[in-house]
Amino acid sequence: MGSKYKSVRKSYGQQDFSSELADWLKSDNTKTLLELDKFFGDRTFAILFMFLMAASALPIPTGGVTDVFAVITILFALQMVLGRRDLWLPKRWQRMKLGSVFTMKLLPGLVKLIRWLERFSKPRLSWILRGKTSDVILGLSVAILATATIAAPPFSGLDTIPALGIVIISAGMILKDGVMTLVGWCLGASGILIQLLLGKAVLEVIQRII
């Protein structure tokens, strides 16, 4: 990480994360995935998890379009499982500029969401978010929940709860709030349980018909 990023991040030390992200968006820095990773460090994973899964977390049918985002989320989550602290990107992605949709709509929307969550968040059980074991558990949790969103039948809405679980887990990671992360885990697990129960019910109906 370059010295300019160290000095800028140091000046943000007393800011809420939402303000830090908003200031980065307003800055003159080139908006690329590589620069995002340089500036936010290990928080980049959580930011991207929230961004990539936000559409699936909305209670609207996506028709499987967001499965691509879920696959990318799984790839990033597996990097956490493997112990990476910084995001690995293919060379052709490193200099890829974030489009205006990302910087003018999606990330500002993320700022608003984080700012709202900051009203209820505080550093609680932050020890569960520290260490390599925690990274492995968080990465696996996100990968499993993202897989669950892919497994959900199109237009069923069953991808919403696991995706929302990822969003809440990621918010807990960013805000160092272990309680919020646990809420995300419970929410995501309940979404998987609902999928399994409904899947079992559908299978029983089919067997009776046959």
Q: What is the pTM of this model?
A: 0.78
How far apart CA 205 and CA 210 sit, in angstroms, is 9
The mean predicted confidence, pLDDT, of the chain is 79
pLDDT, position 62: 54
User: Percent of the chain having pLDDT more than 90?
Assistant: 19
CA distance 175 to 119: 11
Q: For residues 1-23, give the mean pLDDT.
A: 58
Specify the pLDDT at position 65: 62
| pLDDT (0 to 100) of residue 169 | 93
Q: In 3D, which of 129, 119, 139, 125 has the Cα closest to residue 49?
A: 139
Mean pLDDT of 65-85: 86
pLDDT confidence band for 10 (50 / 70 / 90) = very low
CA distance 84 to 178: 21
Neighbours of 97 (CB within 10 A): 12
